[in-house]
Structure 1
């Protein structure tokens, strides 16, 4: 891969990362804002709003799955560092390649089942705001696909000539 192509990929990746961070931040602010509105109406005004609890829960669910898929670097997710840190870089590479292949396979298997469940949820609505449940939990599909794509990108880098940068 030439330096210009690598630089272009890096710029695109940086832009996508900035967008993902901004969306994650907005989702968190939305969840936190709903929580503050809920507290204000419950404890200051003395009349709790029914929709704020559901809204905050939905915003929190979206925040967690969005951030896990698109904001947190794949190497920062749960790992078994006790073994990983004591082996050579080449063995770490093998571990990482194996891990990425397993993640891609597992998440690939999850996609049709997730779509099936979201189809089932299409006929259901949230209890208070009456939002379609498949939209509320559709963030899980984004998580599965997004995380699998991040794993595929890391796998691509791990089998490339600059694999040491990924360890």
Structure 2
């Protein structure tokens, strides 16, 4: 599992490097050589989209996710466990219900391609399918953990 996480981090770092290189190339081509090009912006946009969804699906750990936990701090461990379980069930159900339509849309987008690089949109948007499946799997695992866990972790008090 650790090797897979390292691979996911390496892919994310590679995507970040692609964004940086495309950005520098765009500046150099436009301002040094007076040759404005659009493909560098397209590469940056595609790499950013993949970086965000890839990172959220495969790199980000559960405890690193941003959460609004204002209400969670007001309740005890049992209510927090029930609320998290209900929330995870809702996410699994909603993403699961959306998955067939998402698949249809991504599959349909094979008829379109990007302006400069001619990348098919189905390949471009396929990362969202991976993201959606990863969210479902992550929350299914979280439901199992919440049901099996002997007790809830304490909530960190807000820093002043």
What range describes the TM-score normalised by the shorter chain of this pair?
Answer: 0.7 to 0.9
What is the root-mean-square deviation in Å for CA atoms of aligned residues? 1.8
1:46 alignment partner in structure 2: 34
**Conservation of the 8 A alpha-carbon contact between 1:157 and 1:163:** no
**Which stretches of structure 1, 4 residues or longer, exceed 4 Å deviation after superposition?**
none
Q: Give the unaligned 5+ runs of structure 2.
A: 156-160
Q: Distance in 1 between matches of 2:92 and 2:71?
A: 22
Q: Distance in 2 between matches of 1:22 and 1:164?
A: 33
**Cα distance per residue 1:74-132 (max 9 Å; x no partner):** 34434331101121111111111111111111111111111110121011111111111
Is 1:32 the counterpart of 2:23 in the alignment?
no
Q: Distance in 1 between matches of 2:72 and 2:3?
A: 31
**Conservation of the 8 A alpha-carbon contact between 2:77 and 2:154:** no
2:133 alignment partner in structure 1: 145
- Aligned length, in residue pairs: 155
TM-score of the superposed pair, with normalisation by structure 2: 0.88
Q: Distance in 2 between matches of 1:154 and 1:73?
A: 12
